[in-house]
Chain A
Amino acid sequence: MQVVPGDTTGLIELASPPSGGARGLHALIIGVGNYPNLVRAPNNLLGMGHLDGPARTALKFAEFLLSFDTKPDRLAAPLRSLRLLLSPSPREQGQIPIPAGILPANWQTIHTAAVAWRHAATNSADDVTLFYFAGHGIQRGPAEGVLFPEDVLEGYPDDGAPILDRAFDVNNLYNGMAPKPGELGSAPETIANIQYFFFDACRSPLPALNNFFNASPRPIFNVRADGVDNRIAPRFFAANPGGLGYATPIGTTFGEDLLKCLSGAGADLLSSDGSPVWGITIDRLSRVMESMRDEWNATYPAYRRSFELGNITSTKPILVQFASPPVVACRFTIQPDTALAEASLKLVTYRAGQEIMAHCEGPPLPSACVAREFPGGTYLIQASHSSGPPQFQQLAVILPPSFVQKVIFG
Chain B
Amino acid sequence: MADQTKLFGAMPGSTKGLGRLAFIPVDIRDLQDGTLAGRTTLGALGTQFLKGIRSGKFILVGQVGHTDVFTEISVDDSGRLDWQGVEKFAQLVREAGSDAPAYGTAALSDESEPVQARGAGQSGVVPQTITFRVVGYEMPVLGSAECKIISARNLVVEKNREAVFISVRGASKPVLLQFLAANRPAINAILPTGARLGTPKFQDEWLKLTIDFQEPFADGLVELRASKQFSALKGTVEAISDNDLVSYGEQHPGAAALVGYALLRAEQHAVVEKALYRIRNLAAMEPDTTILLAECAMRAGKAGEALVLFLESTRQGIPSFSVGLSYLTERLRLFAQTNPCGSSWLSAEARANAKSALLHLQAICMFQDYSRVFTTYRGISPAVPGVEPLSEEDLARLLPSSRTVNCK
Q: Do A and B bind each other?
A: yes
Interface residues of A (CB under 8 A from B): 47-48, 51-53, 136, 139-144, 171, 175, 181, 201-205, 209-210, 214, 219, 223-229, 240-250, 253, 260, 268-271, 276, 283, 286-287, 290, 292-296, 298-300, 303, 306-315, 350, 377-378, 394-397, 401-406
CA distance A94 to B320 in the complex (A): 51
A136 surroundings in chain B (CB, below 8 A): 118
CA distance A181 to B338 in the complex (A): 14
Given A144-B333, A171-B333, A260-B107, is A242 in contact with B34 using a C-beta cutoff of 8 Å? no
CA distance A269 to B115 in the complex (A): 34
CA distance A274 to B366 in the complex (A): 51
A-B contact pairs, 27 of them (CB 8 A): A48-B119, A51-B116, A141-B330, A141-B361, A142-B368, A142-B370, A201-B118, A202-B118, A209-B366, A210-B366, A214-B359, A223-B334, A225-B343, A226-B301, A228-B300, A240-B228, A250-B109, A269-B29, A283-B234, A296-B108, A300-B106, A312-B267, A394-B70, A395-B59, A395-B72, A403-B68, A404-B66
- The 0/1 profile, CB within 8 Å of A marked 1, for residues 357-377 of chain B is 001011001111111000000
A396 surroundings in chain B (CB, below 8 A): 68, 70
- Among B36, B106, B327, B370, point to the contact of A242 (Cβ < 8 A): B370
Assess the A404–B67 pair: CB atoms within 8 A: yes
Assess the A144–B330 pair: CB atoms within 8 A: yes
- The 0/1 profile, CB within 8 Å of A marked 1, for residues 335-351 of chain B is 10110000101100000
Interfacial residues of chain B within 97-137, with CB under 8 A of chain A in the complex = 101-109, 111-121
**Distance to closest chain B CB from A186 (angstroms):** 15
Interfacial residues of chain B within 19-47, with CB under 8 A of chain A in the complex = 25, 27, 29-37, 39
Assess the A225–B103 pair: CB atoms within 8 A: no
Assess the A244–B37 pair: CB atoms within 8 A: no
In addition to A250-B109, A397-B59, 6 A-B residue pairs with Cβ atoms within 8 Å of each other are: A141-B329, A141-B365, A142-B368, A225-B335, A229-B301, A249-B116
B266 within 8 A of A: yes
What range describes how many residues of B lie at the interface?
35 or more
- Among A51, A249, A271, A311, point to the contact of B111 (Cβ < 8 A): A249
Assess the B231–A295 pair: CB atoms within 8 A: no
**Distance to closest chain B CB from A28 (angstroms):** 21
CB nearest to B339 among chain A residues: A222
A283 surroundings in chain B (CB, below 8 A): 39, 231, 234
Given A142-B370, A214-B359, A312-B230, is A244 in contact with B119 using a C-beta cutoff of 8 Å? yes
A202 surroundings in chain B (CB, below 8 A): 118-119
Given A204-B120, A223-B334, A290-B231, is A144 in contact with B33 using a C-beta cutoff of 8 Å? no
The 3 closest A-B pairs by CB, nearest first: A143-B326, A242-B370, A228-B301
A246 surroundings in chain B (CB, below 8 A): 115-118
Assess the A141–B325 pair: CB atoms within 8 A: yes
Assess the A214–B117 pair: CB atoms within 8 A: no
Assess the B322–A244 pair: CB atoms within 8 A: no
B299 within 8 A of A: yes
B61 within 8 A of A: yes
**Distance to closest chain B CB from A213 (angstroms):** 8
Interfacial residues of chain B within 304-329, with CB under 8 A of chain A in the complex = 304, 307, 322-323, 325-327, 329
Interface of A is mostly: mixed
Interface residues of B (CB under 8 A from A): 25, 27, 29-37, 39, 59, 61, 66-68, 70, 72, 101-109, 111-121, 228-231, 234, 265-267, 298-301, 303-304, 307, 322-323, 325-327, 329-331, 333-335, 337-338, 343, 345-346, 359, 361-362, 365-371
Assess the B117–A244 pair: CB atoms within 8 A: yes
Assess the B112–A299 pair: CB atoms within 8 A: no
Assess the B231–A405 pair: CB atoms within 8 A: no
B29 surroundings in chain A (CB, below 8 A): 269, 378, 397
Given A141-B326, A242-B371, A249-B111, is A290 in contact with B103 using a C-beta cutoff of 8 Å? no
Given A210-B366, A219-B337, A307-B228, is A299 in contact with B103 using a C-beta cutoff of 8 Å? yes
B120 surroundings in chain A (CB, below 8 A): 47, 204
B323 surroundings in chain A (CB, below 8 A): 142-143
Assess the B303–A250 pair: CB atoms within 8 A: no
B326 surroundings in chain A (CB, below 8 A): 141-144, 241
A244 surroundings in chain B (CB, below 8 A): 117-119, 121
CB nearest to B368 among chain A residues: A142
Assess the A276–B25 pair: CB atoms within 8 A: no
**Distance to closest chain A CB from B341 (angstroms):** 13
**Distance to closest chain B CB from A307 (angstroms):** 6
Assess the A276–B33 pair: CB atoms within 8 A: yes
B32 surroundings in chain A (CB, below 8 A): 350, 378
Assess the B337–A397 pair: CB atoms within 8 A: no
**Distance to closest chain B CB from A3 (angstroms):** 28
- Among A51, A142, A307, A395, point to the contact of B70 (Cβ < 8 A): A395
Given A240-B228, A290-B230, A397-B34, is A249 in contact with B70 using a C-beta cutoff of 8 Å? no
**Distance to closest chain B CB from A378 (angstroms):** 4
CA distance A290 to B365 in the complex (A): 27
Assess the B61–A286 pair: CB atoms within 8 A: no
A310 surroundings in chain B (CB, below 8 A): 265
Assess the A250–B107 pair: CB atoms within 8 A: no
Given A295-B107, A299-B108, is A248 in contact with B113 using a C-beta cutoff of 8 Å? yes
B331 surroundings in chain A (CB, below 8 A): 225
Assess the B371–A240 pair: CB atoms within 8 A: yes
CA distance A229 to B102 in the complex (A): 43
CA distance A122 to B113 in the complex (A): 43
**Distance to closest chain B CB from A316 (angstroms):** 10
A402 surroundings in chain B (CB, below 8 A): 66, 104
B30 surroundings in chain A (CB, below 8 A): 271
CA distance A313 to B32 in the complex (A): 29
Assess the B34–A276 pair: CB atoms within 8 A: yes
- Among A240, A269, A286, A298, point to the contact of B102 (Cβ < 8 A): A298
B118 surroundings in chain A (CB, below 8 A): 48, 51, 136, 201-202, 244-247
**Distance to closest chain A CB from B407 (angstroms):** 25
Assess the B34–A248 pair: CB atoms within 8 A: no
